[in-house]
Chains A and B, each alone.
Chain A
């Protein structure tokens, strides 16, 4: 089976532009997590969904960030308008929510550069 798929792998954009990052979960999984990784702050959880429902979005930096799950296997993370401080690697992780299992499987990430 394919792992978590993220696109694009690299994105370079100018400040003020809208950025959309995409993630496809592992088939059969029902939880999705969006993370941001920087040298200064490490891995930060932005938001996570369980069965398409956002459970915790307390890590979303501000209103410029939004995330959706239009269906059970796909999610988008949108930044509008983007700012240079948003430059980071964004990961999504997929998990099968069941008792006793918290294993998360990460995608390859999207490296975002905002100039």
Chain B
């Protein structure tokens, strides 16, 4: 099946720092979504992207749909302790009509107060 490479696998940063993570694929994707998962909870949808080049913000979070349609980026500005969690990218490959999403392996973020 389709593979999404998400990086970095983990990050340990100081409160106040900006964070950047990305997701890449060898094939074209129609849609990119970013989720955050807190311990013991289900993933929560943060941002959805539908067009190549699209740049969307949600508070301190900004995500972009890469112009090649093979990648996406998530940036978090001025990180705070509650940003701790696992961030997943997900997408729908172009060559499938399925509504199912392919998920990346996640980026584990830790924020030092």
Contact = CB atoms under 8 A, between A and B. Distances in A.
A27 B100 CA distance: 20
Contact of B99 (A55, A106, A107, A109): A55
A100 interface: yes
A103 interface: yes
Contacts of B45: 103-105
A50 interface: yes
B44 A48 contact: no
B11 interface: no
Range of interface residues on B (Cβ < 8 Å): 20 to 34
Given A33-B100, A43-B103, A102 B88 contact: no
Contacts, number: 50
A36 to B, nearest CB: 12
B104 to A, nearest CB: 8
A75 interface: no
A56 B50 contact: no
A31 B44 contact: no
Nearest to B88: A43
A42 interface: yes
Interface of B: 31, 33, 35, 40-45, 48, 50, 88, 90, 92, 98-101, 103, 105-106
6 contacts: A33-B100, A56-B98, A103-B33, A104-B90, A107-B42, A108-B40
Interface of A: 4, 31, 33, 42-43, 45, 48, 50, 55-56, 91, 93, 95, 97, 100-109
6 tightest Cβ-Cβ pairs between the two chains A and B: A106-B42, A43-B103, A106-B43, A102-B31, A42-B105, A109-B42
